[in-house]
Amino acid sequence: MIALNMFPRRNARVITGISFLVIAGLMLYKTVGPLDGTKNPEAVHVPRARSESGNLLTQSPQHLKKQKEYESLILANIQKMTAHRAMERRMNHDPVGVMLHKKPSLLEGLGRVRDMQEQTKSAVQKSVVSENQLNHKIVHLDLKGAPPKVEYYKKLFPLLHSFGATGLLMEYEDMFPYWGKLEFISAHNAYAKGDIADIIELAKKCNLIVIPLIQTFGHMEHVLKLKEFAELREVPNYPQVVCPTNNKTLPLIKLMIDQVLQLHPGIDWVHIGSDEVYNLGECTRCQQYLLHHQFSKNDLFLNHVVSVAKYVKGNYDVQPIMWDDEFRKIPLRALQDSKVGEVLEIMVWKYSSGIMVDLRSDIWEKFSSVFGGIWIASAFKGAANPDSYITNINDRLTNHKEWMEIYDMYKSSIPFRGIVLTGWQRFDHFGVLCELLPQAIPSLAVNLMYINERKADHGALVRVGDILKCSSFINLDLQYLEYANTCDFPGSAFYEVTQKLYILKRDINNMMKNHHVTGWVSDYNIEHSFVSPQHAEQGLQDLTMLLFDYGKVMNEAETALSDVFDEHTVKEWIMFNVKPTHSKLQKLHASVNKLQKLKEWPRRPLDSTENKEL
């Protein structure tokens, strides 16, 4: 995952950049051909096939016709999208936030007038908006190692429905209550079977469909870390990827699927993971299998996922979905020969900016010709840094804006099922906690609002603030966060805590970078009791206050987290995100207080034996 740019781009530049990139992509397609393993004979000399009439062909007439249709469609969509953006654009940049419940400035007042004018648009214009809607807007709940309390879902699910969400993608991982031979997979603080039933019932009451996610290839650390299943690793020292040729692998995966689907009756979809399958085909068994069957690693991958998908579809009449990243590098012919599209739907994910560059038209053409159902996946949190504890909404909004541009461009030719707004709580099973769910509710609200209305202007943000019952300011960019906003939504106390913590850590960092500290109160100075009292007073004049405020926020964090998570999650988050800095401040405060009592200092060199004896 890659952190996004801090500043949003101007809409006009976005459209111009998109037009250039897509047209350049089409020119590249004509020059070097699609990037699915084939080449274009117009650019590179390759042996040419003969048609039944004996004429030499560079490509089949059907392929050429389809290519031209695709190019025309893309260019037409670009023109429509450019016109639409030009009409809707009222400001030359995105806001960094919105003030709530105060007398508006002249600029804000003009914005509200424009918002009122927009509300009076004709029914024809409203029907255009409805045509832009995705059927499903699914919120991903990443639960691994940090399960929210069931009581929290009772408050959260109605709010998600009010934002326009239509379902949940539940990534249980070790939080699922496996039993029998699989009981060791579940964490000690996993949900009980009754909890799963309650969660499903709560979702049903709020008209939210549930899609469980089961890892079946990559990211199986929660299973393969255990000694009971260590023999199934593709690489003995790495517990990420399961060996697809081990005779015990499929029985294990099928049993996991059986137990998860048993507790999720009547569902329509199940996600079978399979992203980031590193170290594929590296074990001795897989190498021998590839040699014996004359398979490539792509064949090995497809053989496994098709087997899993067939089991799901054939035994439960449930449609499996998979992440798309491994399919991007597999040639079209290999996908068609495997018939993977007959049993799988695909979920195309990209959480950073530059979607148009990374997911070019040839990839969409390949996917649309193979899969009957295509999902897209954005991120409303947890896609910046693995140790991040607070979400920068502007980055997430940029990601969703780009995805909606992709959707507008291809919706007439690609069978999009819906969008999943992912919210990662750890980068993987071994990762630390990142951007916990409650503090990212404003980000989720803003981005769902944008998906539904294609707006992130003043009026839209005010409506979000009203729904979240925020009292002052909704911040979109952490660079401009000056004070913590107070809201009243499920988990809002923790949202406030993370803002306070961010501001305090920034103030502490500024203090420690002050030249009075870096030049005269360094660790070296402290260790050798050679600190300038005057510089210590000037550089660390706010130390006592910051230490007090930090201790207060640490206590507030424990209380706020306890409303949502169990004690284990609370301890882990505080241990990683709060205590190290608090301990450092306490140690510095004690050292400086002691050193400021000194009235005499040693001669140099400071590391001499004489000084050490003193």
Are residues 41 and 175 located together in one domain of the fold? no
In a domain, 527, yes or no: yes
What CA–CA distance (Å, rounded) separates 577 from 241? Answer: 30
User: By C-alpha distance, which of 189, 244, 184 is closest to 217?
Assistant: 244
Are residues 450 and 551 located together in one domain of the fold? no
Q: What is the DSSP letter of 412?
A: T
What CA–CA distance (Å, rounded) separates 127 from 106? Answer: 32
Are residues 457 and 501 located together in one domain of the fold? no
Are residues 259 and 322 located together in one domain of the fold? yes
Contact (Cβ atoms closer than 8 angstroms) between residue 116 and residue 143 = no
Are residues 276 and 218 located together in one domain of the fold? yes
Q: Residue 526: enclosing H or E segment and its boundaries? A: helix 523-527
Task: Report the first-to-last Cα separation within the chain, whole angstroms.
Answer: 53
In a domain, 6, yes or no: no
Q: Helix, strand or coil for residue 125?
A: helix
Are residues 217 and 330 located together in one domain of the fold? yes
What CA–CA distance (Å, rounded) separates 352 from 231? Answer: 36
Q: Residue 465: enclosing H or E segment and its boundaries? A: helix 458-467
CB within 8 A of 110, min separation 6: which ones?
none
In a domain, 389, yes or no: yes
In a domain, 105, yes or no: no
What CA–CA distance (Å, rounded) separates 60 from 49? Answer: 9
What CA–CA distance (Å, rounded) separates 613 from 608? Answer: 9
Q: Residue 241: enclosing H or E segment and its boundaries? A: strand 238-242
Give one DSSP letter per residue of 338-367, joined into a string. Answer: HTGGGT-EEEEE--SS-HHHHS-HHHHHHH
User: Parallel, antiparallel, or unpaired for β 238-242 and 233-235?
Assistant: antiparallel
Q: Helix, strand or coil for residue 216?
A: coil
For the beta carbon of residue 429, count every other beta carbon within 10 angstroms: 19
Q: Which two tokens stand for residue 248?
A: 């015990």
What CA–CA distance (Å, rounded) separates 171 from 536? Answer: 50
User: By C-alpha distance, which of 486, 412, 410 is closest to 442?
Assistant: 486
Could you tell me where the DSSP H helices lie in 33-182? 61-88, 106-119, 123-131, 150-163
Are residues 60 and 201 located together in one domain of the fold? no
Q: For the chain, which ranges sit under pLDDT 70? A: 1-64, 66-67, 70, 76-96, 98-132, 609-614
Model pLDDT for residues 126-161, shown as the tens digit of each residue: 444 455 679 999 999 999 989 999 999 999 999 999
Are residues 57 and 141 located together in one domain of the fold? no
Q: Helix, strand or coil for residue 205?
A: helix
* CATH number (domain holding residue 345): 3.20.20.80
Q: Which two tokens stand for residue 569?
A: 């999650």
Distance of CA 566 to the CA centre of its chain: 23
Model pLDDT for residues 511-566, shown as the tens digit of each residue: 999 999 999 999 999 999 999 999 999 999 999 999 999 999 999 999 999 999 99
Residue at which a domain ends, from 454, 469, 484: 469
Q: What is the DSSP letter of 181?
A: G
Q: What is the DSSP letter of 263?
A: T
In a domain, 559, yes or no: yes
- Tell me the average pLDDT of the chain: 85
Are residues 197 and 338 located together in one domain of the fold? yes
Are residues 549 and 452 located together in one domain of the fold? no
Phi and psi for 238 in degrees, rounded to 5? Answer: -115, 115
In a domain, 4, yes or no: no
Q: Please tell me which residue in 276, 282, 556, 572 is annotated as part of the active site.
A: 276
The question of whether 558 is a catalytic residue gets the answer: no
Contact (Cβ atoms closer than 8 angstroms) between residue 405 and residue 359 = no
The number of distinct structural domains making up the chain is 3
In a domain, 153, yes or no: yes
Q: Which two tokens stand for residue 224?
A: 């393969």
Residue matched to tokens 């709560």? 202
The pLDDT score that the predictor gives to residue 607 is 85
In a domain, 123, yes or no: no
Whether omega for the bond prior to residue 47 falls within 30 degrees of 0, making it cis, is no
The pLDDT score that the predictor gives to residue 82 is 60
Are residues 78 and 165 located together in one domain of the fold? no
Are residues 447 and 522 located together in one domain of the fold? no
| Residue span of the structural domain in which 559 resides | 495-613
User: By C-alpha distance, which of 275, 179, 267 is closest to 220?
Assistant: 275
